[in-house]
Amino acid sequence: MLRHYDKIELLKPSFIEQNGYRYYSDEEIQKISMIKQFRRYGFSLEEIKSVLGKNDAEYTKKTLQLKIDYLQQSATEHHYLILELENQIRATSGEDTVFQPKQTFDIVIGHRSEFLALCQRRRTNEAAMDQMIIELYEILETSHLVMTGTHMTIFHVTNSVYDPEDADIEVCIPVNAVFKRGAFYTRIIEGGLYMSTIYIGSYEDINRPYQALIAWAKQNNYSIIGPSVERYYRDCGETSNQSEYVTEICIPIASYSNIGT
């Protein structure tokens, strides 16, 4: 492990004797402890290298806060997945399969924190989404950016007038730093109150969970106040079986009593 840290220039020993023994000062021993702690928090070695290299308290605090936001988001996402999978198990019997499409959806509401994301936005057709997401990942590979969450699509049009052949589409990947290159940019994705559900299945039937969300909002006196977001936890990058796709649909809402206040 220490040899690997030396190789990637994360942590170098004070000196190495001819017999190969490595010697570390008290300061370097403290860094080893910090590396172990950061690894326990889920930081990559590249992220740790950046923090130790800058040696700046404000940068470290900001990095830790980003990790807290990511872990909170991840915990929420896994909570939704657990609820959906438990319902799938309860619904499975006889010849049914775990990923059989369901007609009902669990709707969850909660506050989400804002986060920084690498984005590109186009007025285009729905078929272009996959290529747009691929282009974002190509930017990640050729930049200093570190991915901090799963990729997603924001649809800047209401569901009632959505046209798959002419849509205002913004694809995003949560990242750790500000960036701008041509059509690619970072921006803060706003936080707030969202209703959401997990959909398992082909995109051909993805209108069903949208209908369930819209109906739930009306029944519970909530108004939709922003564009819908699709987060892709399992898609064509992980499986060729479209019935196993896992998508979270999130829509920002406000109580009718709070609108205009």
Query: What are the pLDDT digits (tens) for 45-71?
Result: 888 888 888 888 898 888 888 888 888
What CATH architecture is 75-258? Alpha-Beta Barrel (3.20)
- Is residue 261 scored above 70 in pLDDT? no
Q: What is the pLDDT of residues 132-164, one digit of tens each?
A: 999 999 999 899 899 999 999 999 976 666 777
Query: Contact at 8 Å (CB) between 113 and 73?
Result: yes
Helix (H) or strand (E) holding 46: helix 45-54
Q: What does the pLDDT read at residue 198? A: 92
Report how far residue 101's alpha carbon sits from residue 74's, in angstroms, rounded to the nearest whole number. Answer: 24
230 burial level (CB within 10 Å; 0-12, 13-18, 19+): buried
Token reading at 83:
């609820």
Nearest to 202 by CA among 171, 147, 177, 239: 239
For a pLDDT cut of 90, what percent of the chain falls above it?
A: 39
pLDDT in the model for residue 91: 63
pLDDT at 5 over 70: yes
CA distance 38 to 51: 10
Q: What's the pTM value of the predicted model, to 2 decimals?
A: 0.61
Q: What is the DSSP letter of 64?
A: H
Domain spans of the chain, in order of start: 2-55, 75-258
pLDDT in the model for residue 225: 94
- Closest Cα to residue 241, out of 200, 205, 199? 200
Q: Which amino acid is at 1?
A: M
Please tell us whether the domain made up of 2-55 is placed in CATH 1.10.1660.10.
yes
**Is residue 11 within 8 Å of 28, Cβ to Cβ?**
yes
Distances (CA, A) of 204 to 125, 163, 211: 15, 14, 14
Residue 95 above 50 pLDDT? no
